[in-house]
Chains A and B, each alone.
Chain A
Amino acid sequence: MEMIFKKVGSISFSLLSPQQIKKMAHVKIVTPELYDKEGYPVEGGLMDTRLGVIDPGLRCRTCNGKLKECPGHFGYIELGRPALHISYIKAIYTFLQTTCKECSRILLDDEDILKYQGRIDKLKAIGKEDLVLKVSKLARASAKNVKKCPHCKAKLTPAKFEKPSTFMEDTKRITPIEILERFEKITDPDCLLIGVDPRYARPEWMVMGIFPIPPVTMRPSITLETGERAEDDLTHKLSDIVRINQRLFENINAGAPEIIVEDLWDLLQYHITTFFNNDIAQVPPARHRSGQPLKTITERIKSKEGRFRHNLAGKRVNYAARTVISPDPKIELNEVGVPTLIAMELTVPERVTEWNIDWLKTFIKNGPKVYPGANYVLDGMKKKKITLETQEVILAELCPGQIVERHLIDGDISIFNRQPSLHRMSIMGHKIRVLPGKSFRLNPSVCNPYNADFDGDEMNLHVPQTEEARAEAEILMEVETQIMSPKHGLNVIGCIEDAVTGNYLLTDDRMEMSREEAIELLVSIGLEDSKKLQALKKKVTGKEVFSAVLPSDFNFVFDKVIIENGQLKTGQIDPKTIGEDNGTLLRDINRSYSEAECVDIFGKIFKLGIAYLQKRGFTITTSDADVPEEVREKSKNIIAEAITSVNDTIDQYEHGRLKNFSGKTVEETLELLVMQKLNETRNMVGKMISKTVSDTNNAIIMSKAGKGNILNLAQTSVLVGQQALRGKRIERGYKNRTLSLFREHDKSPEAKGFVRHSYKNGLNPVEFFFHAMTGRDSLMDTALRTPKSGYLYRRLANALQDLKVEYDGTVRDANKTIVQFAYGDDHIDVSRSENGTINIKKIIDEVSRKTK
């Protein structure tokens, strides 16, 4: 086929007129049969070779083109009786409502016609064509529900629409034939008033008397292994249409009773409806013999599996892998462990040069089945597969200029991704580390940016294939470039779980170890700086061990943590300094040192924590939840006090002495006061516990460093506290009370879900029930909220996706129109700031120290 190159000026969408259908058709389809006894397509059938070719080697009988040359050609059938096009059923209804059944004029008097016509002309004159439709909307509205035709004075009854595709006037059905007749008489100016341009869409074209048969190329049949042919869903549907149409013709010609003809007519309407859309309410979907619904035209386009989202927006790629992920704290932050199996399937193209030819030959010698091998050699346009047979020849012919597709080796750059890719850090560059096993391995510290865990999560890996892509991945995407979040200017990668706990315990003031122990620890995490090791004294404090991984010119002050010249002087390391999303120490290291150094230091801090904790050991016992007698006494008093105070308030309320807050009723005020008091109680207990309980208590350690909260301990050992449903105390259940064992209108803490026991001592049945209520509620809440907020975020991201900060600091959209005159009003790059501000004093201090 000849190629034509032209630029698209504009596109207009229009209806197909019967004349157009006939004009573009090359075949009239007359039989529902597809193939004859020999298996050849029947002439005049749905697979007629004049409709296009789907078998390689054959030529199209219309254009004489081969498989890839012939675009396919339309055919047509004449319908025995006209049928409505389901997609235009609404438009047909409007035309029926707004035109007269006798004279087909629009149901507006001449005055109104002139009025609307005038408005439309005026809009067109000033070039506001887009507003014309709004005028016709008004015109349509006033033409509806007219009782008497203003032109022929005929008495009118409004047409009624009965789903899916019938129209009634009084009790009589308006047949498609009548619709066709009425629509044909509608004048062009009336069409325009109703809002349809008759040049492109005459109303009668929405009723089909002649039906186009799409080319076979858009409904190819597939040959199964058994040799059987499986036809496309559209072909099935079309043969239904043709078959029924034939029977309709036969019956009409034989003069069959009108009931039989009408039944067949309805059936034809059904088939044509489902041909266009098989997912309409009130229409049973057409099905395969297996019971699975047919995929007809609308289904091909619509929704996630449709043409747009599946084929046009969603593209599939080569050189990618996907598997389950699992943790490996021993690999570096910027590495990804790749199973050997995958490393042998994914390849990197390497151009042969004089200098690497010998090295590449070792890969070819290994072949595709031995690990560091190669799969293909590209010689110009030719692609040669490396096999046992071809190996010798390829090896002999290998010369500079050819390209070897070698297996992945350690250090290759790759792009690693976990869906949903909600932010920049969901896709990062990782160095490959080939490992045994079948899962991708990643350092647990990078779970946070990916939002990954190891309960079965899978991730995708891509291997860039060109130098440019590799350079981009390394410079723009590698993990070390992504440590600072553009969201709040803090590190998204930090120490987690036992790494925090380890460092916390290590930097305790009382921590001390022998020189030998310290060296063993530091060497085990890969610290090889002999100067630092030699500097260690006979007795080493934990702070000195931690300092060994810090660069010696590093200074840092945060709360009690003070680091001077790389020495941790005072303070204990905790999540506020090295944790995820708020590690100020890590942020400052990232600011001061190169990316490579930074990953190294991060990795060492992380590993030091784990190594130390592993050496020391860490666990928890039930007795950790036993609080001292003193605490128990005190908390008993706190709770009792709170309850008396609450009862006091309730007493005031009941005697009408409680004054309401402004904007609140007395009841609301009471609830507010009570809630406040009871919630305060639990916090007070928590505070008291953290003050009095020994800091060697494992639960306390976890609450300070690692996962956990002092409230967890308070709830386990002293008091579970008030149970809240939707921000209120528990109210539901019986009439004016929560459970039948309380009096009506009982406002006391215990009747409204206050749990005064601890998990360890056990809840009483009433408390247990209240606790189960809130537990179930929060479970439901998370399950229902996640998809909602996910979709909300998706819409937001799509709306904002092409806003971009230009070089002049303005934020502009894809058309380069300005959205914001200064990025964030202050030009600050959040990822380089401290909580959105710039600490100028600190910068000056640093610079002046350096210049000294």
Chain B
Amino acid sequence: MDTNTEISAHILVPKHRKLSIEETNVLLEKLNISVNQLPRILQSDPAIRHLNAEPGEVICIERDSPTAGKANYYRVVING
């Protein structure tokens, strides 16, 4: 299979976006947690490859939700 396919363009892949440092701080403050309490995502995850995210950065995923329509999910980038 062609590994260079940009899967983020696929209709079923939800929108991934890097959070700025300010946004991250607001989020962490709101949830009253440290970064490592967030769910993780691998740096090599195909869905965020195009973002060139570094470990420690937070990714915001806008997902479709059957209950709420749209829902934001946050994951911290880790090595691997």
Contacts and interface: CB of A to CB of B under 8 A. Distances in A.
A810 B39 CA distance: 12
Nearest to B70: A825
A822 B27 CA distance: 13
Contact of A824 (B31, B67, B72): B67
A766 interface: no
A426 to B, nearest CB: 26
A629 interface: no
B74 A825 contact: no
A821 B33 contact: no
A816 B68 CA distance: 24
Given A808-B31, A818-B31, A824 B68 contact: yes
A817 interface: yes
B26 to A, nearest CB: 13
B78 to A, nearest CB: 13
Interface string A805-845: 00010100000111101101110100000001000000000
Contact of B67 (A810, A816, A836): A836
B39 A819 contact: yes
23 contacts: A808-B31, A808-B32, A810-B31, A816-B33, A816-B37, A817-B37, A818-B31, A818-B33, A818-B37, A818-B38, A819-B39, A821-B71, A821-B72, A821-B73, A821-B74, A822-B68, A822-B71, A825-B65, A825-B68, A825-B71, A826-B65, A828-B67, A836-B67
Contacts of A819: 39
Of residues A818, A824, A828, which shows the largest number of chain B Cβ atoms within 10 Å of its Cβ?
A: A818
A764 to B, nearest CB: 49
Contacts of B33: 816, 818
A836 B66 CA distance: 10
Provide the main secondary structure of the chain A interface.
loop
Nearest to A828: B67
Contacts of A816: 33, 37
Nearest to A824: B67
Please tell me the size bucket of the interface on A: 10 to 19
Contacts of B32: 808
A818 B39 contact: yes
Contacts, number: 33
A824 B67 CA distance: 7
Contacts of B37: 816-818
Contacts of B74: 821
A840 to B, nearest CB: 15
Nearest to A823: B67
List of 8 A-B pairs having minimum Cβ-Cβ separation, nearest first: A825-B68, A826-B68, A825-B71, A825-B65, A826-B67, A825-B67, A817-B37, A824-B67
Given A824-B68, A825-B71, 20 more contacts: A808-B31, A808-B32, A810-B31, A816-B37, A817-B37, A817-B39, A819-B39, A821-B31, A821-B72, A822-B68, A822-B71, A825-B65, A825-B67, A825-B68, A826-B65, A826-B67, A826-B68, A826-B71, A828-B67, A836-B67
Contacts of B73: 821
Contacts of A818: 31, 33, 37-39
Please tell me the size bucket of the interface on B: 10 to 19
Nearest to A833: B67
Contacts of B38: 817-818
Contacts of A824: 67-68
Nearest to B66: A825
A845 B45 CA distance: 50
Contacts of A822: 68, 71
A825 B68 CA distance: 6
A836 to B, nearest CB: 6
A7 B74 CA distance: 38
Interface in B1-60: 31-33, 37-39
A33 B31 CA distance: 69
Contacts of B71: 821-822, 825-826
A822 B32 CA distance: 14
Nearest to B37: A817
B58 to A, nearest CB: 12
B43 to A, nearest CB: 17
Nearest to B63: A825
A825 B73 CA distance: 9
A421 B33 CA distance: 34
A466 B68 CA distance: 43
A6 B34 CA distance: 32
A130 to B, nearest CB: 14
B50 to A, nearest CB: 24
A107 B31 CA distance: 55
B61 to A, nearest CB: 10
A816 to B, nearest CB: 7
Interface string A256-293: 00000000000000000000000000000000000000
A816 B36 CA distance: 11
A818 to B, nearest CB: 6
Nearest to A837: B67
A823 to B, nearest CB: 10
A468 B74 CA distance: 40
Nearest to B36: A817
A525 to B, nearest CB: 41
Contacts of A821: 31, 71-74
Contacts of B39: 817-819
A836 B69 CA distance: 13
A239 to B, nearest CB: 56
A695 B68 CA distance: 43
B2 to A, nearest CB: 26
A808 B39 CA distance: 17
Interface in A147-162: none
A819 B72 CA distance: 12
A808 B37 CA distance: 15
A159 to B, nearest CB: 39
A694 B65 CA distance: 47
B29 to A, nearest CB: 11
Contacts of B67: 824-826, 828, 836
Of residues B37, B67, B72, B74, which shows the largest number of chain A Cβ atoms within 10 Å of its Cβ?
A: B67
Contacts of A836: 67
A816 B71 CA distance: 21
Nearest to A826: B68
Nearest to B30: A808
A810 B72 CA distance: 12
B32 to A, nearest CB: 7
A824 B33 CA distance: 20
A817 B38 CA distance: 6
Nearest to A827: B68
B38 to A, nearest CB: 6
Nearest to A817: B37
Interface string A534-564: 0000000000000000000000000000000
A151 B44 CA distance: 42
Nearest to B27: A821
A818 B39 CA distance: 6
B23 to A, nearest CB: 14
Of residues B31, B72, B74, which shows the largest number of chain A Cβ atoms within 10 Å of its Cβ?
A: B31
Nearest to A819: B39
A818 B72 CA distance: 13
Nearest to A820: B73
A826 B39 CA distance: 19
Nearest to A809: B31
